[in-house]
Structure 1
Amino acid sequence: MKFYSTNNKDHKVSLKEAVIKGLAPDQGLYMPEQIPQLPASVIENLSKLSFQEIGYEVIGAIFGEDLSHDEITELVDHTLAFDAPLVEVEKDIYTLELFHGPTLAFKDFGARFCSKLMSMLVEEEKVRVLVATSGDTGSAVANGFYKVPGVEVIILYPSGKVSVLQEKQFTTLGENVKALEVDGVFDDCQRMVKEAFLDRELNEKMLLTSANSINVARWIPQCLYYFYAYSRLPKNSKKVIFSVPSGNFGNIAAGILAERMGLPIDGFVASTNVNKVVPDYLKGVPFRARPSLQTISNSMDVGNPSNFYRLLALYGGDEDLLKEKVKGYFFDDATTREVMKEVKDAQGYVMDPHGAVAYLGLKEYMESNSDVLGVFLETAHPGKFRDVVEAVHQEEVILPKRLAEFLEGKKKVEKLPNDFMAFKKYLMAE
């Protein structure tokens, strides 16, 4: 299958080029030329399939022209090495727990798939993976690519704007993982990464790629857990709605990809914090990037979400259809803290701030829509935001062993000013 740029449908490349380049030369995001439709028989029998069997069907449909049966099996087995349980929180509301992987965040799925596929596609040349992170992407990619031969990972993150645990997960590894602490916000980190991809001198000297959700190999596999969640829901006549905590909007775009492939999802809720560029757009305000604002749900502190253009592409550029299928809501920190406490007190369920925002979006949607079966995505273990969660509940959060072990590691970082030329100088000296 060929992959086209969201900025130019006539620019088409192979799977290998889309994965290794990450970003198109015109700064567009790569999209599959066709969105394959799963047979109705597969959709009807999803509940009889394991997570891995669902993965074989979906990944086979998308990548079957480029990868062998054995390669697809190996990719899926490596990616889906842990569960994503669906947990009933209250009547008609479920959470999809996506934090049971190595770094306890949903991005483990995409990072493991991306690292495995890249190792299959890359040949002799050394690849440098550039990653901008507002939190969980850095830890997932760092651990997914840790010690992968022929790959060096360089992570840019905003100083003082990620949680201590998130920071420790990607700054303590060493080996082939380098961390740069940028004097700025996430959008500055993302801008510098994009500029590096477009810099001729850098690209003549080295092979650069990305493992952010802008890379199709990081983005596409996230659709798998939507199929899995749907397969485990009770079967009734109610509409199925997914509420997704959204920052760079890759996760919700993956859900829409699943829906476009034939999964009968009736709608999506894009739930955000006060960085509300997309919710405003969905209510009729022209899309306009803004400086990001710092919140307790820091992984969503994005003022210029790259994957917005994938949302449009998935609906064929039809803005009206996008606004019909996706509703957007935003919530401030005070409201987020309040609902975290309410759900813990009433249901005994502890949410992280991002899952709490998704829960709020789902509840707001359900206030004006009846006969709904709702799923909100819990994208990170509450322990990753221990300071916030403990302050809300006034009790200690017990960290899983693998999280606690990261806290013992020593940070290995370099400081970087908010300046592309300084970043370029760093890369040229590598």
Structure 2
Amino acid sequence: MKYYSTNKEAFVVSLQEAVVKGLAPDRGLYMPERIARLPKNFFDEIENSGLQDISKTIVEAFFGEDIPKEELDAIVDDTLNFEIPLKNVEDGIYALELFHGPTFAFKDVGARFMARMLSYFVKEEQQEINVLVATSGDTGSAVANGFLGVEGIKVFVLYPSGKVSDMQEAQFTTLGQNITALEVDGTFDDCQALVKSAFMDEGLNTRLKLTSANSINVARFLPQSFYYFWAYAQLIQQTQFSKTVFSVPSGNLGNLTAGLFAKRTGLPVDRFIAANNRNDVFREYLQTGRYNPRASVQTIANAMDVGAPSNFDRILDLYSHSHKAITNDISSYRYNDTEISKAIKNVYQGSGYLLDPHGACAYLALKEGKKPDETGIFLATAHPAKFKKTVEACTGIPIQIPSALAAFMQHKKQSITLPNDFGLLKKKLIGQS
């Protein structure tokens, strides 16, 4: 399988090149030249299959031309060794809990998969690879823990100072080993811009082999399609339904894009809802046809605080830049902190189900956007304990922190403060490598 750039100004490359490079030389994102349709019998039998078996079929359709099946199966087994339950919250509305992995956030799936795929390719590269990742919260912890101790790979996590929760920060600033945390004086968009500038700097790339573990990397976002199929399989087991809609907390749009890829392979999902917080650039595009990226603003759903979502380019490419085609499959709603907080409180009081701020935003969008004949699934993307203060303030009850999560808070913070200055980042990367 060959991969092309969304900007169409770079040469097509192999999967290995796409994964190791991360970003195309023309600053575009890599896309597979084709998306295979899965056979009908796969969907006929999906309700009787487990998460790992389903994922092995999907991953072979995406990557089977480039990596031997036994290697892919081993990567899936190592990646998906935890539960992803589907829970009925209220009539016609289900929560897919993606936070049962090592860092209690949905990004564990893509980050762990990419770490193992990149490790497979490192053996052929014969050169140390430096992973750069910008995070608005959960990406940094998932990537840092996914790559921790992986031989031949160093990870640099760039995060906006004071704009991630204490729990999130502890998960990537206390690890040491091959993980370096860079605390940037700026926003997530500043961190993301620094990472992209690093990829475009010829001098830096001559000195170091760089790649990204953000959802701009095909090995990060594509595996996130696994759980859409798994949700569908569980829904068949739990209820009768005719139409399905997914509501996705949307920041950098990688998770939503993975769902759109799942639909292209044949997953019988009718449409998607993109849930936005106050950073609603994508919602604005859906409503007006105009894309106006801007500086992000801080909210209690901080992992969605993105003002220039990278994967927007993939969505445009997937739909041949047709605004009409995109809006046929995707609608969007936005919510402020007050509305999100009320949702956490009201859902807990009404059903006993505990939401985190991102899941609450997706719940609200599903509640508002679901049609009477649809069954809805919203993605619960992080454990509520990762936002302990916020959730406790909403519900008035103490939140029990899982012991594995609490353990991160017991270690000493190790981070390097950095101004929003690419020249200083460049020096730091060269000096640390």
TM-score where L is the length of structure 1: 0.98
Deviations 1:185-212 (A, max 9, x none): 0000000000000000000001000000
Verify the 8 A CA contact 1:240 1:266 in the aligned structure 2: yes
Instruction: Tell me whether 1:319 sits opposite 2:351 in the alignment.
Output: no
Deviations 1:253-293 (A, max 9, x none): 00000000000110000001000000011011410111100
Query: What are the residue-to-residue correspondences of 1:104-115 with 2, within 5 Å?
Result: 104-115=104-115
Which one of 155, 162, 165 corresponds to residue 164 of structure 2?
162
Instruction: Tell me whether 1:103 sits opposite 2:107 in the alignment.
Output: no
Q: Bigger shift: 268-277 or 40-49?
A: 40-49
| Structure 1 runs (4+) greater than 6 angstroms displaced | none
Letter in 1 for 2:270: D
Letter in 1 for 2:309: P
Q: Bigger shift: 287-296 or 305-314?
A: 305-314
* Structure 2: distance between partners of 1:379 and 1:400: 16
1:82 aligns with 82
Corresponding residue SS for 1:175:
coil
* 1:296 Cα offset (Å): 0.2
Q: Bigger shift: 305-314 or 14-23?
A: 305-314
* Structure 1: distance between partners of 2:98 and 2:15: 27
Letter in 1 for 2:276: T
Which one of 166, 187, 192 corresponds to residue 185 of structure 1?
187
1:421 aligns with 423
* 1:314 Cα offset (Å): 1.9
| Unmatched 5+ stretches in structure 2 | none
* 1:43 Cα offset (Å): 1.3
Deviations 1:302-335 (A, max 9, x none): 0000000111222233221101110011000000
Q: Tell me the matched-pair count.
A: 428
2:381 aligns with 379
* 1:237 Cα offset (Å): 4.4
Deviations 1:339-362 (A, max 9, x none): 111100000000000000000000
* Structure 1: distance between partners of 2:284 and 2:321: 18
Deviations 1:140-171 (A, max 9, x none): 00000000000000000000000000000000
1:353 aligns with 357
Deviations 1:392-423 (A, max 9, x none): 11121000011110111100011000111110
Query: What are the residue-to-residue correspondences of 1:157-236 with 2, within 5 Å?
Result: 157-234=159-236, 236=240
* Structure 1: distance between partners of 2:52 and 2:410: 34
Q: Bigger shift: 3-12 or 194-203?
A: 3-12
Instruction: Tell me whether 1:264 sits opposite 2:268 in the alignment.
Output: yes
Verify the 8 A CA contact 2:10 2:25 in the aligned structure 1: no
Corresponding residue SS for 1:377:
strand
Verify the 8 A CA contact 1:260 1:314 in the aligned structure 2: no
* Structure 2: distance between partners of 1:59 and 1:144: 18
Verify the 8 A CA contact 2:289 2:323 in the aligned structure 1: no
Query: What are the residue-to-residue correspondences of 1:1-400 with 2, within 5 Å?
Result: 1-8=1-8, 11-123=11-123, 124-234=126-236, 236-366=240-370, 369-400=371-402
Corresponding residue SS for 1:271:
strand
* Structure 2: distance between partners of 1:99 and 1:313: 30
After superposition, the CA RMSD in angstroms is: 0.9
| Unmatched 5+ stretches in structure 1 | none
Corresponding residue SS for 2:108:
helix
Corresponding residue SS for 1:258:
helix
* Structure 2: distance between partners of 1:303 and 1:289: 6
* 1:79 Cα offset (Å): 1.3
What is the percentage of aligned positions where both structures have the same residue? 53
* Structure 2: distance between partners of 1:157 and 1:65: 36
* Structure 2: distance between partners of 1:319 and 1:76: 35
Corresponding residue SS for 1:130:
strand
TM-score where L is the length of structure 2: 0.98
Deviations 1:84-122 (A, max 9, x none): 100000011000000000000000000110000000011
* 1:9 Cα offset (Å): 7.1
Q: Bigger shift: 63-72 or 242-251?
A: 63-72
Letter in 2 for 1:27: R
* Structure 2: distance between partners of 1:29 and 1:10: 10
Corresponding residue SS for 1:424:
helix
* Structure 2: distance between partners of 1:258 and 1:44: 16
* 1:78 Cα offset (Å): 1.1
* Structure 2: distance between partners of 1:215 and 1:290: 23
* Structure 2: distance between partners of 1:142 and 1:177: 6
* Structure 2: distance between partners of 1:77 and 1:386: 31
